[in-house]
Amino acid sequence: MIGASGHIGTYLVPRLVDAGHDVVAVSRGKREPYSPHGAWERVTSVSADRKAEEADGTFGRRIADLEADVVIDLICFQESSARDLAAALTGRVRQLLHCGTIWVHGPSARVPTTEDRPRRPIGEYGRQKAAIEAFLLDRAHRDGLPATIIHPGHITGPGWVPVNPAGNLDTGVYQALAEGAEVTLPNLGMETVQHVHADDVARLFMDAVNNPSAAVGESFHSVATTALTLRGYAEAVAGWFGREARLAYLPWEQWRETVSEQDARTTYDHIAHSPHCSMEKAERLLGHRPRYTPLEAISEAVDWLVRAGTITP
């Protein structure tokens, strides 16, 4: 697993170990998993700087030489990286799983968005992920590269800040809702976000590994089965603290002047997409259904922020 100590790997590595797999965790060794688990004592760790090793042409060969049956790539962000790894692994693995993003779709048009909808990415991140997906699926259909792509939504869970009801990562929004203070949302607060618990993403990767005949050559969304409007999300969070949400609204051009430039960029990215993706394909082909609703997933993360003292009820 490449990028094993991040959001998804925190849950996926223990699941793989508990299922009896021998796991090699490849990372820079700079970060511990978000949640401790005894399974990590049974993992072989390999330290690698992907960017540097790709620059000198050794990364793909290094991964291939580990002689894995399955390679799970959680940190591939450039088409060139995917091409290098695919070239090194061709004929040497049973399955190559790539972590994509629902951003490959661009703005929602017909909802819920299904995996077969045209790709209309609007940012560099989404464009690169769409290019990676197109390359891997073309190789899968043309010459049998055993590739599977999982497209998560807004990953959340204990240990990090979830995308908030204003569409950014400012924890002050949660604090204001906890205090009963007024929170201003862009437009009418009817844009959508679609979270997913990191463990549900891990479970979908497991289901794809366990069902290669159904998963190879396919892309799957990994999101909660419903999306949230910003307004509905804010009202729910306030209710967790025994408050009634006090919400105000401003047109986008005015609202953006009330927050930092970074928060405005992050919010715009989320509301411009307003995702609402379908999970029907994953259930039909892999028997997968997310265990967490979006609010259940978010509440675990918010509870952690309260315990950490980031939010003070």
Residue 136 banded pLDDT, cuts 50, 70, 90: very high
Flag whether pLDDT at 37 surpasses 90.
no
At residue 30, does pLDDT exceed 70?
A: no
For residues 242-269, average pLDDT? 98
- pLDDT class for 18, splitting at 50, 70, 90? very high
pLDDT in tens, 58-97: 999 999 999 999 999 999 999 999 999 999 999 999 999 9
Look-up: residue for tokens 């929004």?
A: 173
Give the pLDDT score at 165: 98
User: DSSP letters of the chain?
Assistant: -BTTTSHHHHHHHHHHHHTT---EEEE-S----SS--GGGGG-EEEE--HHHHHHTT-HHHHHHTT--SEEEES---SHHHHHHHHHHHTTT-SEEEEE--GGGG-S--SSSBPTTSPP---SHHHHHHHHHHHHHHHHHHHH---EEEEEE-EEE-TTSPPP-TTSS--THHHHHHHHT-EEEEETTS--EE-EEEHHHHHHHHHHHHH-HHHHTTEEEEES-SS-EEHHHHHHHHHHHTT---EEEEE-HHHHGGGS-HHHHHHHHHHHHH---B--HHHHHHH----SS-HHHHHHHHHHHHHHTTSS--
pLDDT score of 32: 73
Give tens-digit pLDDT for 173-218: 999 999 999 999 999 999 999 999 999 999 999 999 999 999 999 9
pLDDT in tens, 218-236: 999 999 999 999 999 999 9
Quick one: what percent of the chain has pLDDT higher than 70?
99
Task: Tell me what percent of the residues of the chain surpass a pLDDT of 90.
Answer: 93
The residues spanned by each domain of the chain are 7-156+194-222
Each residue's pLDDT tens digit, 152-168: 999 999 999 999 999 99
Mean pLDDT, the chain, whole residue set: 96
Instruction: Indicate the pLDDT class of residue 34, thresholds 50, 70 and 90.
Output: confident
What is residue 55's predicted lDDT score, i.e. its pLDDT?
A: 93
57: tokens are 């042409």
What pLDDT score was predicted for residue 31?
A: 67
Per-residue pLDDT for 142 more than 70?
yes
Residue 38 pLDDT class (50, 70, 90 cuts): confident
Q: Which of 88, 176, 189, 82 is nearest to 136 (CA)?
A: 82
CATH 3.70.10.10 fits 7-156+194-222, yes or no: no
